[in-house]
Amino acid sequence: MRILVTVKHTPDLQSQRSFTDGRVTRTAEDGTMNELDENAVEAALQLVEAAGEGEVYALTVGGPDAVAAVRKALQLGVHHALHVSDEAIAGSDVFGTAKVIAAAVRKVHDEAPLDLVVTGMAALDGLTSMLPTALAAELDWSQLTLASALSVDGGEVTIERHLPDSHETVSAPLPAVVSVTDEANKPRFPNFKLIMAARKAPVTVWTLSDLALDPAQVGAGAARTTVIDASPRPPRADRIKVTDTGDAGTQLANFLIEKGLA
């Protein structure tokens, strides 16, 4: 079983997240591997462990700091780390990013076939959840998204998917792109041995020319959307906080009535 996991470098949720020139501010200090990608790494490791053989690759696309995302994946136990980094990629939209990831996946797949690409359900900076679909389409592989459970058997992958109005079971032949939700598993914690090993583990760095990609196809220039303005929202004004001394329920009700909400 050969699996590639995509992991994104995103600002820590607990940090002061912001925009600079229409792009998410990313710094080495408060950046980390997207929390939801821990579930993707876990799903891949579990499949390989269950199969008793195989390898897991972690791949990130991003500037020099993004290497932190694949280092984190190494700490969790993936076998190989890949980092695609090229100035021309900066400012890519989801379609540009998907092109780059697809080219890197193909390069690995050409060396020895992959069975699966596993992604997180969303990157917690943009929360768009569009990349897995775009990647499956670029690769022309099966697309199975939002898996809360998955299994691989006889050349097929089967997932369970919880939508607001229905629960689905969906199957598709390998190779496939599967996105997993945070219901799929409980990510493991890195152990000391892996943390030490991850520090020294090699990370393969590819540029666009290693992937034979034309810079004009990616980056800000090719992006179909541009953030033209970003501003912090002011905190809610006139906040009221009362401590219950026996009539706070009435006060709350009166507040709703006054606002025409009750």
Partner 1 sequence: MTIAAVLIDHRHGAVTRPALEALTLARSLGTPVAVWLGEAPSADAAAQLGEYGATEVRVVDAADARVASRAAAAVGAASGDADVVVMISTFVTKEIATRLALATGAGVVVDAAGAELVDGKVETFQTVFAATWDVRTRINADKAIVGVRPNTTHATPADSPAAATVVVVDAELPEARERIVSVEPVEQGDSVPLAEAPVVVSGGRGTSGDYSLVSDFAELLGGAVGASRDATDEGWISHEHMVGQTGTTVTPALYVACGISGAVHHRGGMQASGTIVCINMDPEAPIFEISDFGVVGNLFDVIPQAIERIKEHRGA
Ligand X SMILES: Nc1ncnc2c1ncn2[C@@H]1O[C@H](COP(=O)(O)O)[C@@H](O)[C@H]1O
Residues between 4 and 63 with contacts to ligand FAD, criterion CB under 6 A: 35-36
| Residues 42, 73: Cα–Cα separation, whole Å | 9
Provide the minimum distance between the beta carbon of 36 and ligand FAD in the complex, in angstroms, as a whole number. Answer: 6
User: At which residue do the structure tokens 């670029």 appear?
Assistant: 138
Task: Report the sign of the C-alpha dihedral through residues 231, 100, 203, 146, in that order.
Answer: positive
Binding string, residues 94-113; x marks residues near partner 1 by CB under 8 A: xx------------------
Binding string, residues 12-51; x marks residues near ligand X by CB under 6 A: ----------------------x-xx--x-----------
Residue 1 as a binder of partner 1 (CB under 8 A): the answer is no
Residue type, 197: A
Provide the minimum distance between the beta carbon of 183 and partner 1 in the complex, in angstroms, as a whole number. Answer: 7
Provide the minimum distance between the beta carbon of 7 and ligand X in the complex, in angstroms, as a whole number. Answer: 6
Q: Judge contact between 105 and 69, C-beta under 8 A.
A: no
Residues 19-78 that bind partner 1 (CB under 8 A): 19, 36
Residue 155 as a binder of partner 1 (CB under 8 A): the answer is no
Which tokens in the block code for residue 191?
Answer: 């152990």
Q: Which does 6 bind (CB under 5 to 8 A by kind): ligand FAD, ligand X, partner 1, none?
A: ligand X
Q: Which of 77, 120, 187, 219 binds ligand X (CB under 6 A)?
A: 120
Q: Looking at the DSSP assignment, which residues form a beta bridge with residue 180? A: 120, 147
Q: Which of 116, 121, 198, 218 binds partner 1 (CB under 8 A)?
A: 121
- How many residues appear in the chain? 262
Q: Judge contact between 119 and 177, C-beta under 8 A.
A: yes
Q: Which does 224 bind (CB under 5 to 8 A by kind): ligand X, ligand FAD, partner 1, none?
A: partner 1
By beta-carbon proximity to ligand FAD, the closer residue of 114 and 122 is 122
Q: Which of 2, 8, 26, 161 binds ligand X (CB under 6 A)?
A: 8
- The Cα-based distances of 213 to 15, 28, 142, 206 in angstroms read 34, 27, 23, 11
Neighbouring C-beta atoms of residue 34, cutoff 10 Å: 25
- The Cα-based distances of 186 to 33, 36, 43, 152, 157 in angstroms read 16, 11, 9, 19, 20
Residues whose CB is less than 8 angstroms from the CB of residue 66 and which lie 6 or more positions away in sequence, other chains included:
8, 9, 26, 31, 60, 83, 85
* Residues contributing to the site for ligand X (CB under 6 A): 6-8, 34, 36-37, 40, 60-62, 97, 119-120, 122-123, 126-132
Contact footprint for ligand FAD (CB under 6 A): 35-36, 182
